[in-house]
Structures are given as C-alpha cells and as structure tokens.
Structure 1
Amino acid sequence: MVNPRLAFLAPTTLSWRELPKGANHHFIPKMTTESSIESSHPPSPVRHVPSLPTPSRPSSQKAVLPADQIGPAKERMFSLLHSHFVANCLYTVVNLGVPDVLGGETLTVRQIVDRIGNTDVNEDLLFRQLRLLSEETDGPRLFIESSSSNGGGDGDAEEFAYSLGPAGALLQTNVAGQASMACAVQHSFERPLWSAWSELPGATYGGSAIPPFTAANGSPVFEYYQAHPESMVPFQEFMATNSATAVDGMVEGYDWSQLEGKRVVDVGGGYGEVMSAVTEKYPDIEAYSLDLPGVIDMAPALPDGSNVNLVGGDMFDPSTIPPNCDVAFLRHILHDWTPDACGRILESLHGALPDHGQLLIVDAVMPGPGVTGPFSKVQKQVDMLMAMFGGQERTLGQWTELLENHGWEIDSVVENTPSLNLDGIITCSKGK
C-alpha cells in the first residue's frame, strides 16, 4: 500500500477538486489510491537487459585527464546524474498545485499546505523539494527562497519562505495572456512517458525492436493515450500550448499569401490554433484541422465566423482526409513516426490530394557533424524524445530519401527558420 503521508509522490490522475476559500487557485489534483494507479497504468513486465563487457583496451589508448580537469569533470558528471532529482521534485510540486497557491505571494511551507487543504501532504518532504528547486539558479529561477519571520531560530522549515521565480511563474494555470507550462511537466514526467526511458537500454543493445514507450506500456503512444484519457489530457494540453506559443512564428515564418484561394488541411492540427491564426490574416484560405475524433471532441468551440473546419479522421486513412485539398500542412507530425509509418502517411496523403497537391512540412532538419549550440541541443533532445515512440528527427538527406520513396519530390527547403524556433520548411509536389 502507498503510505498516505507519501501519497502525493505517486503518479496522479487528472481528476480535480476545489480548494478551500482563500486559496490562490481553483483546482489541485485529487490523489489516487494504489489500486486506481494500477488500473490506470498497468505495470509492464520487467525485462533484464544484460550489461555489456567493458572492451579491452591498452592504457596507452585511453583518455587520461590532466589532474586539474578531474574535479570539474566529476562535478559535471554529478550534475548530470542528479538532474532527474529536480525533474521529479518539479513534477510533484506542480501536481500539488504549489505554483498556483504561491501566485504573487511569499509563503512558508506550512502556509502553502494550509491553503492546499490536503491533510496527507508530508510538509517535511515538500519543504525539502522546494529547497532543492530554489537552488536551480542557471537562467530564470523556478522558486526563490527567503527568510520568514516564523520559526525558532534553529533552522526548521518555518524559517524558510518561498516565492515564484520567472520560470516558476509559467507553472501557474489560467493566467490571462500567459501560456502555462504545467501541462508540459505533467505530460513529461507522468509514469507512462517517464517509464519509457527505462526501456532505452533494451532498445539500444538488448535486442528489442519495440519502441521504448510501447515496451513500457504495452501499446504504441497514440493508442495508449486514446485508451487513457487521464494521460491524453496533459498531452493534448501540452500540444495545444506548443501550438499556441508557436502560432505567431508560424504565421510570419511562411508566405501564406501564395495559398489564398486554396484548401489547406492541417494534418494532426489539434484544436485548429495555427489555421485559425493563418486564416485570420489570410481569410481567403479555406482551412481544415484534421485530428483523431477523440481530440476533436475535446476541442473548444471556434469563434463565430471562423474559416477553419475541425474534422475527426485518421491521416493513415485517405478516405477520412477532407477531399480536394490543395495543400497538406504537417507541423511536427512525421517526426513522431517510424520510417514505415511515415511512408503510410505520405502515401495516404498522396492518394487523398489531387495531382497538383502539395505538402508543406515544418519539422527539424538535423545539423551536420560538429554543430553545437542551444538550438541544436534542443533538436537533439527532441530527437531522443521521439526515439521513445519509434520516431526521429531527420537530416536533409533522410528527408529526401523518405519523401522520394513515397511519391513526393522536394521543391524547396528552408533550414533553421528563426521565427519557427529553427525548424525547417520543406515544400513538396507529387513525383512525376
């Protein structure tokens, strides 16, 4: 059984209950029991992946550090090894609703817990997590630690108070004009995705051809989310947040005026955020947002007079794709899938679009050897995230091969577009 004092550390479903009066936010997660956790996320079989023997190599061929580099190198290694401590603490305090409780105030842990109103919260563990998170000082701060007027001078938790830093402020929900990153934390660190990373050794050298997410959860990622709405909610909110924050760049990063008077389908377009912004500026574009029926059912109503049509369908099934579309727009879609699955998507679109049909692909074009920096690092991080699902980011050569093998010819490529967070723009026509 889960110790009730530690229950808030277990993965939670996205069921909610109201806070008591005086709280700064409206909802906090309702904690699940051990049995409900098991029913929501059945455990995957534990597979033993053997350790590989260390290759034999003469000492003369090994990298030997100068003495003055050993200390900094070791410190760097510990920083990398301990990074998941921060991730799990962040997941816990977000699930508990701490950022919304703090708002613009500075509070002690006791005050935070009183406002949450959950008697099962372990105050000592929460204090220790906030203490660690306030040490994250590289870049905008998550939490800021200060002295309170409480406590007995012996270093107990009541002498410490916490407020939100700029990064922590983005973890609040329902702030007008400010996209929340809380759903990103909940999606990234809930058990289905988190446990997929433990399957990476098996996929790398354990002889498994199954994507790590599938190995951990028993079904591919999108099938899993369809069957588990408690996981679909933060995932879809995260996708919507990503689209919302990228909308301006997407509208400005491509010359949509050349598509006026045409039909454009946004494949995997979610709630239609991108197409809504595009058609607001270019009203002569007839736009469709195609996504799974379960996603479309969750979509908020579009404004009156919107030129966007939300369509429930399946990009693998050409019969469900809106007919007579001139352009299929795919933003961050093909990187989710294996080459075989991408081939089926591309062939489905090839069959659904008319002879003059085109593809407009917005996705990463991976850099060549030796290219490093903040943007290439993000691209490589996302590439490893896609590996959890069997997908990948692609180099220009890989894009060319994939598209040509399934009936499409590249017309133009714009790599590293600044307004698109350095994504590339690839336009294609049907092959001759």
Structure 2
Amino acid sequence: MQVIILGAGVIGVTSAWYLACLGHEVTVIDRQSAPALETSFANAGQVSPGYSTPWASPGLPLQAAKWMLHPKTSPLVIRKRFDLAMIRWLDQLLKNCNAHAYDINKSRMLRIAEYSRDCLDALREETGITYDDRQRGLIQLFRTNKQIDTAQHDMRLLAEANIPHQLLAVDQVLEHEPGLAHAKHLLTGGLYLPGDESGDAHVFTQRLARMAEAKGVKFVYDATVLGLDAAADEIMSVRTSAAHFRGDAYIVAMGSYSPLLLRPLRVHLPVYPVKGYSLTLPLTDETHAPMSTVNDTSYKLAITRLGNRIRIGGTAELTGYNLKLSPDRRETLELSFSELFGGGDLSAATYWAGLRPCTPDGTPVIGPVSGFKNLWLNTGHGTLGWTMACGSGRLIADLVHGRKPDIPALDLSINRYN
C-alpha cells in the first residue's frame, strides 16, 4: 500500500517508521527543509506518561480566573481577539471541566502514553537510537500543601492504572534531585514517577527519519500542503506547492494546522493551537542542575536535563497562529529556573515558541475519518506529542494496515466528538 503522511514532526515520522516496518511504501511531505523544525523542535523534553493530565479539570475555571490576576507570571494567557474557533474550543474545554469527564479523559491519555513509552523503550532496544535520553523518572514539585492535596486525586487514578508513583517528602525530593538543595525552603514535597523519561524530541525525530529513509521511506521537503482532493468517499490526491501526490491512504499529522486542511472537506476537528515557550541553555554547574526532569507545579513549567544543556519549557498562550516571542513569558521561564536551580547560563539561552495542537478533552485524535475510506488522523497531542509519539505512530500504522492494535482505539478517533 502507498501511504502519504502529511507532516514530518515527531508524530509523522514515527507513523512513517512503523508503516515502513509493516512493509508499506511511505511518502512524508513537509513544508520545512528537514524533519522536526516546528512544534517538535524545542519542546520541554519530557516523555512523561505518568504526568499525562487533561487541562480540563474541575478546578480549572476558578484557577484560571486567579491566574488572570497575575498576567506576567500566569501559566495561562488568553490574548484578546475575536476568534470563533478559539471561542468554540474554549466552550468545549469548559464542558469537560467536571470530575466525570476528567476521569475518562485522563484514563484515555494514560492508556496511549503508557503504551507509547513501552513502544519507545522497544524501539530504543531494537535500533540503538540515542537522543540525549535519560531514564531516571520525573518529579512533580509542590510548593504548597494545597498542591499536594490536589494531587491526591491524580494519584488515585495513577494507582487504578497500575502506574508506579510515590509521594515524596522534601528530603526525599533532594535525594533524587540534589541540585534543588538551595531551594529546599520553597518546597513542601513532590510526586515521583519512576517510569517517566526525558530526551530531545528534535534529535530523536531527525535520527529516526534517517533510519526510516534507509527502510525506503521517501521524504519530500519544502513542499507546502495546499489541499486534499476528494471524490465521493475517497481522497484522490494531495496538492502541494511542489506537485500533486497520489496514494492509497492519507494520514494527516500536521499538528495545529490539521483543522485548516480538513475544513474544506467539512471535517470539523476541534484542535486549537496553544503556544508554548522554551529556553535552552548551556549547563554551567552540575551541582545546581536537574539530574533528569522536574515539573514546577506553581508555574506549570518543566525543567529538563538534555546532555550538557538544560531545557525550560511550558506556559500556555491562546493567540491563534501567532508565533511572536513574548518577553513576559521568558521572564516566567527564567524565574522558575533561577528559584529552583540556577546552574545554567541564561544569558546564552535560545528562546523559542511552538504551537501545540490541543483538543478540548486532552486526548489526541487517532484513527479514521468518517465519510472517507482512506483518510486518517494522527494529531491533537497537545503538550504530549513527544510522550505519545511512538505509541501513536504504531497505533495508526496498525489501523491503516488492518491489524488489531495492542490497545483499545475506538474512543481515540474523531468520532468521539459526534
């Protein structure tokens, strides 16, 4: 079967890899000059199935209102603009802010994230791929007792999913992350997730793309996808700035831009771009740096060790497809890192922003599109594209191939919104 994948980020490339492993002829098309140059370029670096949590939670509306009182340091910023897609997406998000929906959505996310981590482990063992990876777990840092109380519900769901975790006292946190010693007075505890990992998604994607090419995958770069040509219930071709491409199956893995491509087909995909920021800086003092990765619950940021670099990533900004870098967001990243660690050169940091393709329920959209027998989606992973990439790639490959996937997949398709 000839399969065309639209998008060469971490989701598109992992999809291509697993399809090639099943013997299919695969072509990957991307507007950039190389793989992983957009959202997959400089994310927080976490492979964190244990931290897979939907934004839509019972306490979000009240918490968001409090954040808005401190716009410079708020983890969430909504820029004032008339954007019907954003309004609809926020409405759906709010409808998921109840305990019942939260439990369903989190269980879905944990399912695909845990599966994906296992697929990544198997891929690493099979190929020997490296990407500044570390398998040393993740610690979610708490600065207040209220944050610990709030985490109790998540720990119950982790226990129900048989995901190893441990609530740590401050001294236990420091045993895992001694670089936090000077910030001990700021902490009240932490949640340790030993099964979580870290690594550079950009390095991983580029190296896996080269391995996929060796398996016969064809990559077409500098080709902007212009549209899908359909006849009745079938996609006939994809139009790009370079040429028309025809295949037997088409997989849309274009992240935040997926809804724009699908709209002319009257396929309404509730994915909205949520801008996130990161700083990547050289490591200068190992005694004041993370051993692996920590999440600062107060600022909703991740601080991750990537070889001889440190990556600080996070924040959420709803501002459409605007990639302009905000000075205020940088201040928040620097503040969290300076308070907790400080063992890196902030003056030499690279500042970056990317658009996360977020669904209102937090779960990615993986599966077929009703009405089109050869159109598939693998998108909407939000902040967890790197965490869920290998599992999503293998899952979509199994579905396209006609093989029963290893995990339940019916509730991951776009049909759940209908």
TM class, shorter-length: under 0.3
- Provide TM-score, normalisation by structure 1: 0.23
- Structure with the bigger percentage of strand: 2
Look at both structures and tell me which one has the larger radius of gyration over its CA atoms.
1
- Provide TM-score, normalisation by structure 2: 0.24
